[in-house]
Amino acid sequence: MKVIVFGSTGFIGLPVAHALVRNGHQVYGVSRSEKNAQLMRANEIIPLIGDIFDPATWEKHLVDADVVVDCAAGDIATNARRLFQVVTSSAARIRPGNRGTYSKLAYIYTSGTWVHGEERSQLRSDTSLPTPPLLVAWRPAVEDQVVKSEIVRGIVIRPSLVYGRQGSLFSSLFAQATPSVEKLEWFGTPGGSYALVHVDDLADCFLRAVKKNHLISGLILDCTNERTESVDGILYAFATVVGVSLDKVTYRPPANVLEEAMAVT
């Protein structure tokens, strides 16, 4: 298939593009910078240089594309809505047969399981009513817009906390591992459990969604490991590795909306 990936050099987007390329798909990545274009070429991703919100950058490839994948970073609260609007407007204009069952463009939007909010007593699934923290309170509305679109086959993938390779949301924990470290702090309260997914497993999920997009149109899918991990256990294991006494591992109240979201378990 012909796939356009927005955010194709990012923490999630690059492994997703890798997985698609390895499986024989023709992958185009959109970037503003020549530096990122060189990275894409080195990874067999065809670069499209320009503003992701300017249809002139990618529109000629949208005409016969099968799938668009939004893994774009930046100001995601604004970018997600804007990119979806620009792509769907272009698709409606330049693809006259786009409303047919198999000719319709598929659009895969990257959300996240933070929309489930804090819950320590019951299981949450992709059919649970969202109760998101403030940082991602806007996301359910975007998800709804994507899956209810009549212009594209909308699909939403919600990764849980992503780890692996060159980064993760645990970077603030690793940043504490200095030679003089004597204590470790984390956000929230003891007893929590994190849902996690390795970025390569997440990329495989996107690959499967691309292959089966005509079967899963209109669905919102959580992508996560089969079991959760104890936050206390993660912190204690990290403390052991860096030589911090377990009684020096503490929690503190979140100081901003990002820390509030990261404290959600």
Q: What is the predicted pLDDT for the residue at 98?
A: 63
CA-to-CA distance for 80 and 73, rounded, in angstroms?
9
Whether pLDDT at 174 is above 90: no
Q: What angle do CA 114, 84, 152 make, to 5 degrees?
A: 105
- Confidence tier at 152 by pLDDT (50, 70, 90): very high
The amino acid that residue 23 corresponds to is N
Q: What is the predicted pLDDT for the residue at 118?
A: 75
**Cβ distance 10 to 199 under 8 Å?**
no
Secondary structure (3-state) at 169: coil
Whether pLDDT at 171 is above 90: no
Pairing of strands 46-49, 153-159: unpaired
Secondary structure (3-state) at 242: helix
Longest dimension (CA), the chain: 65
Percent of residues in the chain assigned helix, strand, coil, to nearest 5: 40, 20, 40
**Cβ distance 217 to 154 under 8 Å?**
yes
Whether pLDDT at 100 is above 60: no
pLDDT tens across 179-196, in order? 888 899 999 999 999 999
For residue 31, what are the β-bridge partners? 49
| Look-up of token digits 């409303």 | 99
pLDDT tens across 191-247, in order? 999 999 999 999 999 999 999 999 999 999 999 999 999 999 999 999 999 999 999
Domains of the chain: 2-162+196-223 (3.40.50.720), 171-191+228-262 (no CATH)
CA-to-CA distance for 178 and 127, rounded, in angstroms?
42
pTM of the predicted model as reported, rounded to 2 decimal places: 0.92
Q: What is the predicted pLDDT for the residue at 26?
A: 98
